[in-house]
Structure 1
Amino acid sequence: MSKLSFAAIVVVVAFSGAASAQSTNARGACRADYDKFCAGIAPGTGGIIACLNGKRDQLSETCKKALDSRKK
């Protein structure tokens, strides 16, 4: 394996790990808000984020911050 291929793999793995950690943080921070406002929405479709954003004025500050961090 060339050095360039190895470097590309390292970069991809690093970015996917950061995205996964960010999703995990948002999931934990918004769990109560999800249960309260969006419990009927199945994961994996983007519907949960849309639902939470639609209820933004009713969300906890922790959840709002987690949603904002996903946009960066």
Structure 2
Amino acid sequence: MSKLTFAAFIVVAAISGTASAQSPDPRGACKVDYDKFCAGIAPGGGKIIACLNAKRDQLSATCKAALDSRKK
């Protein structure tokens, strides 16, 4: 692997990591909350997000932050 290719790889990895840190993935951040409050909801049409938002006062802080990041 050339030095230029390696440098490009590092830059792309750094950018990807920064984007992930700024915008948490609700699927991972809300897994425990989904299992606890919305396990019977089939995916599709925003039904899971709607279920989680309906239970918002009971969700973890991590899940709330992930849901909030989707609204931006």
TM-score (normalised: structure 1): 0.66
Aligned residues: 51
Task: State the 4+ residue runs in structure 1 displaced beyond 3 angstroms.
Answer: none
- Unpaired stretches in structure 2, ≥5 consecutive residues: 1-18
What's the counterpart of residue 10 of structure 1? none
Q: Does 1:70 align with 2:70?
A: yes
For residues 3-38 of structure 1, what are the alpha-carbon distances to aligned partners after superposition, in whole Å with 9 as ceiling and x for unaligned?
xxxxxxxxxxxxxxx8xxx6x811000000000000
For structure 1, the residue ranges without an aligned partner over 5 or more in a row are 1-17
Instruction: Report % sequence identity.
Output: 78
Larger radius of gyration: 2
The structure with more helix, counted as a fraction of residues: 1
Provide the alpha-carbon RMSD of the alignment: 1.6
Length-normalised TM-score, structure 2: 0.66
